[in-house]
A = this chain, B = another copy of it.
Amino acid sequence: MRWAELDREACSVARTLSVIGDRWSLLILRDCFLRVRRFEEFEARLGITRHRLADRLKKLVKAGVLKRVPYQERPRRYEYRLTEKGLDLNAVLLAMVHWGDTHMAGKRGRPALYEHLDCGAIFDPVMCCSACGGKVTARNIRILAGPGALPAANDA
């Protein structure tokens, strides 16, 4: 399967990966959440080549995750900002951060901490059920075919 075919799968994981499933996209988005917005700034922070960066930014804009916003005229220059669709990726990033903190942290501890502004606590992100608010884990969920499942491939 090629990249271009991935978004046609009847699977939300595959469709999501068609947007963010490469080495750089999520690192670019991580920096977006840290309020990085300009081409040169991304380049300096990421260790990505200008070539790749230009290409990824273009793809993320096309996917509707980032938007290109002019911040000066003559010469016209643009910066890259998260759209609402992009901001919604926060949960994905947080889940990855939490997994990395739990399973990949070095002896010095986690690289970053998160403060919940609503309650003031340094917190861990936890996946919860929208109906009852209880924790969701691999062991207390069941997967069912939804309306968008293909007849011949009614998997996730």
Contact = CB atoms under 8 A, between A and B. Distances in A.
Interface of A: 1, 3, 6-7, 10-19, 21-23, 26-27, 30, 33-34, 45-48, 64, 82, 85, 87-106, 108-119, 121-134, 136-150, 154-156
A33 B147 contact: no
Contacts of A22: 21-23
Nearest to A82: B138
A13 B96 contact: yes
Contact of A116 (B16, B17, B118, B136): B136
Contacts of A15: 100, 104-105
A6 B33 contact: no
A90 B140 contact: no
Given A26-B21, A95-B94, A131 B112 contact: no
A12 B111 contact: yes
A46 to B, nearest CB: 8
A148 B114 contact: no
Given A94-B136, A118-B129, 18 more contacts: A6-B23, A12-B96, A12-B97, A13-B26, A13-B30, A16-B100, A22-B23, A34-B156, A82-B138, A88-B138, A89-B99, A95-B127, A109-B147, A111-B145, A112-B144, A117-B141, A118-B140, A121-B129
Given A23-B6, A104-B16, A114-B144, A126 B130 contact: yes
